[in-house]
Amino acid sequence: MRVEEIVPQYYDSNIYVINQKIVIDTGMTTDYVLHHMEQIMPIENIELIILTHAHYDHSGCAGELLKRSGAKLAIHEADAPFLNDDYLSSALNFGSKIACPPADILYRGGEKIPIGFNENGEEEYLEVIHTPGHTVGCICLYEKNSKTLFSGDTVFSDGGIGRSDFKISAPEKMTSSISKLRELDIENLCPGHGHTTLGNANRSIELSEMMSSRMNP
C-alpha cells in the first residue's frame, strides 16, 4: 500500500491518498488541497473518496474533487444525512456553507474496500470499522498487511481522542469504539489531525482508551 499525505492548512483534516486513486477525507481549504493533490497525481485519477465522518473540516472539498474527478463518494450511513446540513456538519463554525452531493456508497461497518495488490500479487483491502463517538457515523479504516489504521477523529497519536460533545456525537459509545480498535494489531496510526505514529501504535490506542474511559465513564 502506497500512502501519501497532504499536510493540512489551518483547521483542515489530514488527507491521505492511497495508491494514487483513493482519497481518505478532503479537508476544507479547496485551492490549497487541489494544488497539493495535483502534485501527487492528476485529480482525474481519483476513483473513490472516503469520508471518515461528515464534519466540514473533513468533507468541505469533496464536492469540488468529485466534480473534477468523477469519483464515487462513500461515508457511513449514519453520517450521510449530515453532509448537506450546514449546522450539523459544523460548516457554520468555519463561516462556510457546505456543497456536497449525496454519497454514492453507504457503509455499515465490516466492508472491505479493495485498494490494489501487494508485491505477492495478493489483493489488499481497507476494512471499514464503525466507531461511533465523535459522530454517530464515524469510521476507521484498517489495512492489515501494513497494520495501518486511518482513524479519522476517533483517536489521535499519543493517546488523544476526538471531541464527543457535538449534536451528532455519541459520547456513550466512544470508549467501546476505541476498545474495538484495541483488538487490532496496529503498527501505524494515521489520524484525522496531528502527526502520524509509525511503529507501536497499539500503545497510542491503549492510551486513548484510558483517556476515553475517564472522560466518558
Whole-prediction pTM:
0.96
Domain residue spans in the chain?
3-215
What is the tens place of the pLDDT at every residue in 98-116? Answer: 878 899 999 999 999 999 9
Please give the mean pLDDT across all residues of the chain: 95
Q: Report CA 204 to chain centroid distance, whole Å.
A: 17
What is the tens place of the pLDDT at every residue in 12-49? Answer: 999 999 999 999 999 999 999 999 999 999 999 999 99
| 3-state SS assignment for residue 197 | strand
Do residues 38 and 32 lie in contact, with contact meaning Cβ atoms separated by under 8 Å? no
pLDDT of 217 > 80? The answer is no
What is the tens place of the pLDDT at every residue in 154-174? Answer: 999 999 999 999 999 999 999
| CATH number assigned to the domain with residue range 3-215, chosen from the 4 options 2.40.50.140, 3.40.50.720, 3.40.50.2300, 3.60.15.10 | 3.60.15.10
| 3-state SS assignment for residue 124 | strand
